[in-house]
Chain A
Amino acid sequence: MSDTAGRQPGLSVLDRPNSYIGRAVPRPNIARLTQGRGRYASDISLPRMVHVAFVRSPYAHARIVRIDKTAASGLPGVVAIVTGAELAAVMTPWVGVLSHLKGLKSAPQHAIAVERACWQGEAVAAVVARSRAEAEDAAELVAVDYEELEPVVSVEAALAPGARAIHPELGDNIAFERVLDAGEVDRAFAEADSVVETTFAFGRHTGVTLEPRAIVADWNPGEARLTVYQGTQAPHMMQNIIARHLALEESQVRVICGDVGGSFGIKVHVYADEMATVALAKLLKRPVKYVPDRVESFVSDIHARDHCVKARAAVKRDGTITAFEIDDETGIGPYSMYPRTSGIEANQVVNLVGGPYRTPNYRARARVVFQNKNVMCQYRGVGHPVACSVTEGLVDMAARAIGMDPFEIRRRNVIPDDAHPSVSAAGLKFEALSHQAALAKLHAMMDYDARRREQAALREKGVYRGIGLATFIEVTNPSAAFYGVGGARISSQDGAALRLDATGALVCQISVTEQGQGTEAVIAQVVATAFGVPIERVRVITGDTDVTPYGGGTWASRGAGIGGEAALQAGKALRENVLKVAGTILQAQPAALDIRDGLVVDRDTGRERIGLEEIARIAYFRPDTLPSDFQPELMVVRHYVPRKYPFAFTNGVNACWLEVDVETGFVKLLKYWIVEDCGTIINPQLVDEQIRGGVVQGLGPALMEHCIYDERGQLLNGNMADYLVPMAAEMPDIEVGHVVSPTLESELGAKGAGEAGTAGAAAAVANAVNDALSPFGVAISAIPITPEIVLRALGRL
């Protein structure tokens, strides 16, 4: 463990009197949400507002021959029916590429399809009406003549020699390819005592945010300004993109993000139908609302993790894993998403495989291909669940091949805690990781040896339980290396503006956003601690491009680590400014004073000198009583971005305990443990709940979540009755433990925690199922592990 390693002795800003760092204080916005008094984008209603419904292609690939609006336009309530070609007159298309993903290519995508639909569910026309119901009625009567084209559905078909290119101008269906070769891979395999090899298949799945995507766009021609109420993770990114494609100045676009009913990466992308909605508002000069229904969400929210990875590992008899090699193929739909691109997930897989281990020899190839399915892009965990399942699956296979305990083989191969800073075979830079401490902690938490005894005893009775382990590393606190260097106008820095109001309370406007993870609570804790007030005296405002400083928003586990540091520095700076005012009033040296618990006190004795309200009163209402050459500055702005490391990697290890019913194939999750290290823990309750929620979001795809397509590119289970998500009755209790290795890049020391749980959950489940089934000599390497998959593996179906 490295709790305080490298820190200066003495009190840090985190240890100030009445510090809120490390305390489970309740979120300031939580009572409102328990009373149904949230304000989500789907709740917004404006005067003269109309609703849009989209006519969506029933074919995975089709030429749009003719669109006849006649019957639909006659229906009551219809305001406008707009085709892709008509909308293209007000909105330019986009291409989802970034220059740092070398060779990544994609085709121009329009807000509404022009000439050709490339996936089942792509919008081909918009119907605007007084109510959503009327818009849907009319959408049914829009007559579209399609000429069905041959769809390219599977990745194999997309890559087959002579395959028809979905976008002929691109030449082929390969959007992006990356190869990596580190160390001496061939030699390591030649000298291995054992080589393990399999193909891992990952079912495409999606986010299923409980509130669908939602947007209300309001163009006011009188002031030539567009106000967009949107459930989004990145308001400034959206402001930039909406302005760019409507040929407006950024200053003409305001994006407001209130409460958001779940995001998980689903709401950080630019969706064609939402862009169409803002364009329609501009075209019609009135507010337009769009909230997809659930069936639309399944064919239009991004999907993720459609990967197939051929993989092998080389291992020595003593347990040393000497090489990993992978070949990843992934299908991303017909377009690379904008602006983050659909090359990132495969790129992450290449980066992350083998990441927790000191294995020096690593070869990887990833191919990202176009296909006629819904678009695929970054979703909670981006690449981590794939990389982790491949790595940890191979590690378990290697352990079995040489007859070693899965805990032991991990102990022998993880990068030692004292080896940092270090660089992985893939070139990732690690500032400080704690694999050994995490493994030791997990071993004790789950009472590993007792579980093994229990497992052996139950096996005698025909009960098949399994233990699955999965170590992981997680990308958090991304610098400009993630998107900015590739040319995307996605900010990696964030800003906090902090002011003392006239009653001595604080208002913090910050560019990171709240989707329920507790951003506002964490920022309030940091500000209250750094400045020195009770947390009730801090109000945090997020999610409005007219109000907050410029910044990236919340994604890639960055809110606490980056936004938190900006807030910390703002709190410190405002404290200094307020003490200057106090020093002037009291005729004392500011350095001899401090602010504690909302009062200015003598730094040494803690004796109360003056209240904040009195300072604010004098500064705002009686500045005439201050020296004429002294100007109080009671508002400060501070920004932060990591610069030394491209990412602050975190680490952890999962353990899953489950039972497989070998008669029915059902898997019952019994218990789950996870130890993670996100550096400084600002609010332990919020961190634990991020971890738990993340784990369950990984358990779903491990066991049930799957977007099932047929060979014509039709999604067969696009509704909540057929697409299964984790519900309360099937999910286990999850015990969370921590190791704390703060990042020394920031004073706060916080790394991200939002995606850690999702990274290794599927790997832990698959390893546990295979452990349970080991007496049968079968192994499963495809998720979701449905009863059918289990029974087929057992040869019972």
Chain B
Amino acid sequence: MTKPIAISLAVNGEPVEALVRPRQHLADFLRDTLGLTGTHIGCEHGVCGACSVRLDGDVVRGCLVLAVQADGAQVETIEGASDSGELASLQHAFAARNALQCGYCTPGMLLNAAELLARNPSPSRDDIRQHLSGNYCRCTGYQAIVDAVEAAARAGAGGAP
């Protein structure tokens, strides 16, 4: 039950093979084993959204998924989504609007915002607030984030990924 289990998955497009303890969650695996520290850990009980990553295209909480559950999956983190250029428009809007202060919630916010824009290219401010309501930010008070997502939507950031 507690012995390491072999998994094989793709992280940001790169094949990864690893032995993981069954209890290790995906966020710890990404951070501690692969050094992908852009996935942040805030609460480890599924509330704050800081550890959001993509698992086979869906945004999930890295603390609520075990690494063994990602066996055979495609995982994408903020590092991959940044390097591919796919988030560039949202990232630009966040920077221009100062939609982050400490930056700790930002990777999760960006991945969730991208998911919203992929589903709804011109969301209302209420839509944005609702979609991001599972991502905690202590710094901004959220308005700048809503503004940035709105600006990115107007600039045509939707359609990705």
Question: Do the two shown chains form a genuine complex with each other?
Answer: yes
- Please choose the segment from B54-62, B65-73, B89-97 that sits at the chain A interface, where 4 or more of its residues have CB less than 8 A away: B89-97
The residue that A33 contacts in the complex, of B103, B136, B138, with Cβ under 8 A, is: B103
A517 in contact with B130 (CB, 8 Å): no
Q: Please judge, given known A-B contacts A35-B78, A210-B137, A210-B138, whether A685 and B45 are in contact too, CB under 8 Å.
A: no
Determine the distance from Cα of A207 to Cα of B139 in the docked complex, in whole angstroms: 11
User: What is the size, in residues, of chain B's interface with A at 8 Å between Cβ atoms?
Assistant: 58
Q: Please judge, given known A-B contacts A37-B38, A210-B42, A721-B47, whether A516 and B100 are in contact too, CB under 8 Å.
A: yes
A513 to chain B, nearest CB (A): 12
Give the residues in chain A near B146, CB-CB below 8 Å: 728, 733
Which of B40, B104, B136, B140 has the most A CB atoms < 10 Å from its CB? B104
Give the residues in chain B near A757, CB-CB below 8 Å: 141
Name the interface residues of A255-291: CB closer than 8 Å to any CB of B: 259-264
Report if A625 contacts B (CB, 8 A): no
A734 in contact with B141 (CB, 8 Å): yes
Report if A113 contacts B (CB, 8 A): no
User: What is the size, in residues, of chain A's interface with B at 8 Å between Cβ atoms?
Assistant: 59
B140 in contact with A208 (CB, 8 Å): no
Give the residues in chain B near A36, CB-CB below 8 Å: 36-40, 77-79, 82, 106-107
Determine the distance from Cα of A695 to Cα of B106 in the docked complex, in whole angstroms: 20
Q: Please judge, given known A-B contacts A31-B91, A727-B133, whether A516 and B101 are in contact too, CB under 8 Å.
A: yes
Give the residues in chain B near A720, CB-CB below 8 Å: 42-43, 45, 47-48, 136
Give the residues in chain B near A27, CB-CB below 8 Å: 95, 98
Determine the distance from Cα of A495 to Cα of B111 in the docked complex, in whole angstroms: 39
Name the interface residues of B78-131: CB closer than 8 Å to any CB of A: 78-79, 82, 87, 91, 94-98, 100-107, 110, 125, 128-130
B104 in contact with A210 (CB, 8 Å): yes
Q: Please judge, given known A-B contacts A261-B103, A721-B47, whether A30 and B98 are in contact too, CB under 8 Å.
A: yes
Which of B37, B91, B96, B130 has the most A CB atoms < 10 Å from its CB? B37
Q: Please judge, given known A-B contacts A36-B107, A727-B134, A729-B130, whether A689 and B98 are in contact too, CB under 8 Å.
A: yes
A147 to chain B, nearest CB (A): 32
Report if B7 contacts A (CB, 8 A): no
B66 to chain A, nearest CB (A): 13
- Chain B residue at minimum C-beta to C-beta distance from A26: B95
Which of B100, B103, B107, B144 has the most A CB atoms < 10 Å from its CB? B103
Report if A725 contacts B (CB, 8 A): yes
Determine the distance from Cα of A303 to Cα of B135 in the docked complex, in whole angstroms: 23
A262 in contact with B78 (CB, 8 Å): no
B130 in contact with A33 (CB, 8 Å): no
A261 in contact with B102 (CB, 8 Å): yes
- Chain A residue at minimum C-beta to C-beta distance from B41: A42
B100 in contact with A33 (CB, 8 Å): yes
- Chain A residue at minimum C-beta to C-beta distance from B135: A728
Name the interface residues of B12-46: CB closer than 8 Å to any CB of A: 21, 23-24, 31-32, 35-45
Give the residues in chain A near B102, CB-CB below 8 Å: 33, 209-211, 259-263, 515-516
A612 to chain B, nearest CB (A): 27
Report if B11 contacts A (CB, 8 A): no
B144 in contact with A692 (CB, 8 Å): yes
Determine the distance from Cα of A719 to Cα of B128 in the docked complex, in whole angstroms: 26
A725 in contact with B136 (CB, 8 Å): yes
Report if A440 contacts B (CB, 8 A): no
A385 to chain B, nearest CB (A): 16
Q: How would residues 378 to 418 of chain A score, 1 for a CB under 8 Å from any chain B CB and 0 otherwise?
A: 00000000000000000000000000000000000000000
Which of B23, B36, B139 has the most A CB atoms < 10 Å from its CB? B139
B8 to chain A, nearest CB (A): 22
Determine the distance from Cα of A121 to Cα of B115 in the docked complex, in whole angstroms: 39
Determine the distance from Cα of A32 to Cα of B133 in the docked complex, in whole angstroms: 24
Give the residues in chain B near A331, CB-CB below 8 Å: none
A35 in contact with B40 (CB, 8 Å): no
B97 to chain A, nearest CB (A): 8
Give the residues in chain A near B133, CB-CB below 8 Å: 727-730
Report if B153 contacts A (CB, 8 A): no
B142 in contact with A264 (CB, 8 Å): no
- Chain B residue at minimum C-beta to C-beta distance from A211: B104
A26 in contact with B38 (CB, 8 Å): no
The residue that A210 contacts in the complex, of B36, B48, B87, with Cβ under 8 A, is: B48
B103 in contact with A34 (CB, 8 Å): yes
The residue that B110 contacts in the complex, of A24, A34, A260, A695, with Cβ under 8 A, is: A34
Determine the distance from Cα of A209 to Cα of B87 in the docked complex, in whole angstroms: 26
Report if B50 contacts A (CB, 8 A): yes
- Chain B residue at minimum C-beta to C-beta distance from A695: B141
- Chain B residue at minimum C-beta to C-beta distance from A261: B104
Give the residues in chain A near B101, CB-CB below 8 Å: 262, 515-518, 689, 693
Which of B36, B102, B128, B136 has the most A CB atoms < 10 Å from its CB? B102
Give the residues in chain B near A734, CB-CB below 8 Å: 141, 143
Report if B157 contacts A (CB, 8 A): no
Q: Please judge, given known A-B contacts A34-B110, A35-B82, A294-B44, whether A210 and B143 are in contact too, CB under 8 Å.
A: no
A210 in contact with B105 (CB, 8 Å): yes
B96 in contact with A26 (CB, 8 Å): yes
Which of B21, B37, B132, B141 has the most A CB atoms < 10 Å from its CB? B141
B45 in contact with A208 (CB, 8 Å): no
Report if B145 contacts A (CB, 8 A): yes
Give the residues in chain B near A294, CB-CB below 8 Å: 42-45, 48
Give the residues in chain A near B95, CB-CB below 8 Å: 26-27, 30-31, 34
Give the residues in chain A near B39, CB-CB below 8 Å: 36
B132 to chain A, nearest CB (A): 5
Give the residues in chain B near A43, CB-CB below 8 Å: 31, 37
Determine the distance from Cα of A207 to Cα of B140 in the docked complex, in whole angstroms: 14
Q: How would residues 515 to 554 of chain A score, 1 for a CB under 8 Å from any chain B CB and 0 otherwise?
A: 1111000000000000000000000000000000000000
- Chain A residue at minimum C-beta to C-beta distance from B36: A36
A728 in contact with B47 (CB, 8 Å): no
A210 in contact with B91 (CB, 8 Å): no
Determine the distance from Cα of A58 to Cα of B95 in the docked complex, in whole angstroms: 44
A733 in contact with B138 (CB, 8 Å): no
Report if A482 contacts B (CB, 8 A): no
B103 to chain A, nearest CB (A): 3
Determine the distance from Cα of A706 to Cα of B38 in the docked complex, in whole angstroms: 30
Which of A38, A40, A42 has the most B CB atoms < 10 Å from its CB? A38
Give the residues in chain B near A689, CB-CB below 8 Å: 98, 101, 139-141, 144
The residue that B139 contacts in the complex, of A31, A39, A262, with Cβ under 8 A, is: A262
Give the residues in chain B near A726, CB-CB below 8 Å: 141-142
Q: How would residues 660 to 697 of chain A score, 1 for a CB under 8 Å from any chain B CB and 0 otherwise?
A: 00000000000000000000000001100100111111
Give the residues in chain A near B24, CB-CB below 8 Å: 133
Give the residues in chain A near B103, CB-CB below 8 Å: 30, 32-34, 38, 259, 261, 516
A262 in contact with B104 (CB, 8 Å): yes
Report if A791 contacts B (CB, 8 A): no
- Chain B residue at minimum C-beta to C-beta distance from A721: B47
A209 in contact with B138 (CB, 8 Å): yes
Name the interface residues of A34-90: CB closer than 8 Å to any CB of B: 34-40, 42-43, 45
- Chain B residue at minimum C-beta to C-beta distance from A31: B95
Give the residues in chain A near B104, CB-CB below 8 Å: 38, 40, 210-211, 261-262
Residues of A within 8 A of B (CB): 24, 26-27, 30-40, 42-43, 45, 131, 133, 207-212, 259-264, 293-294, 515-518, 685-686, 689, 692-697, 719-721, 725-731, 733-734, 757
28 contacts between A and B (CB under 8 A): A26-B95, A30-B94, A31-B91, A33-B103, A33-B106, A34-B103, A34-B110, A36-B38, A38-B104, A42-B40, A42-B41, A133-B23, A210-B102, A210-B104, A211-B104, A261-B103, A262-B101, A264-B138, A294-B42, A515-B102, A689-B98, A692-B144, A720-B136, A728-B132, A728-B133, A728-B135, A729-B130, A731-B143
- Interchain residue pairs A-B with the least CB separation, the first 9: A36-B38, A33-B103, A261-B104, A516-B102, A516-B101, A696-B141, A36-B78, A729-B133, A720-B47
Other A-B contacts than A211-B40, A721-B47, 4 sampled, CB-CB below 8 A, are A207-B138, A689-B144, A692-B144, A693-B140
Residues of B within 8 A of A (CB): 21, 23-24, 31-32, 35-45, 47-48, 50, 77-79, 82, 87, 91, 94-98, 100-107, 110, 125, 128-130, 132-146
